[in-house]
Amino acid sequence: MKVLVLLAVGLAVVSAKVPGIKLHTGYEMPVIGLGTWQATGQSVRQAVKDALEIGYTHIDTAEVYKNEKEVGEGIHDAFAAGFIKREDLFITTKVWPQGSNRQKALATIHHSLQQLNVSYLDLVLIHAPLEDYANTWKGLEDAVDQKLVRSIGISNFDHRGDIDHVFNSARIKPAVNQINIHPTLNNDDAVTYSNQKGIAITGYSPLGTGGLVKNPTLVAIGKKHNKSAAQVALRWQIERHLITIPKSVTKKYIKEDFEIFDFTLTQEEIQTIHNMH
């Protein structure tokens, strides 16, 4: 049996409720955020506001989600209600690399800033290793130079060759790699290799796009902690020192997903979940 070794990524407290991981850029990234993939219109606007009211301090979106405007409106609703201030919020978005280049990537970031109605972004990722993503990366570096973005990174870079192609040519090294991770897809190789390069990991679709919320293994472990299967799956990511971005537009589930900091899993439970892959 392969023994799970937890990666030594330092945790820091970024708010009273949310721990964070310190990126190599010096900024701290909250370990849980609200994902917004496939969420649009007024539902995502309300979900963002609800999340920030509950205590989230991290919102994840992307150019291709076509929801940055509504996400921005939800953020500003939360500002107006006094739930959070901009300096306490971590905003991630992504640049789609197909058809992009250095100039277009920078223009996309300017557009995202306009849509979200903020003056800077905490993290911008290349959304996937497509086409000439190394040239697109230079546009992200330009955005950092212009103080439009604090940290930059990659997404869906599962293979060492793709990670190395960016890392070896980059003037500013990737701070984060966002990849698909859940109990039946632990993605150990990409996690380990990214961390060896000093790149933190965000796991998206942490509940297997909803397919794991009734998983019997997770349900059984959850009963021991008076927690749901979803909370166990998310806590497993936290125990691995990963960042996780569950997605929901329902306030009840957004709140449930956030309530994962008042229990811990045993090493045996962590290993059991890890072996589900």
Closest CA to 207 of 199, 223, 218: 218
In the block, which residue shows the tokens 């850029």?
Answer: 25
Question: What are the binding residues for substrate?
Answer: 127
Is 27 in the active site? no
Residue 9 tokens read as: 């990524």
Strand partners of residue 246? none
Closest CA to 155 of 207, 190, 103, 106: 190
In the block, which residue shows the tokens 């959850």?
Answer: 222
Candidates 56, 65, 204, 253; catalytic one: 65
H/E element, 76:
helix 68-81
Question: What are the binding residues?
Answer: 127
Residue 86 DSSP symbol: G
The maximal CA–CA distance of the chain, rounded, in angstroms, is 53
The set of catalytic residues is: 65
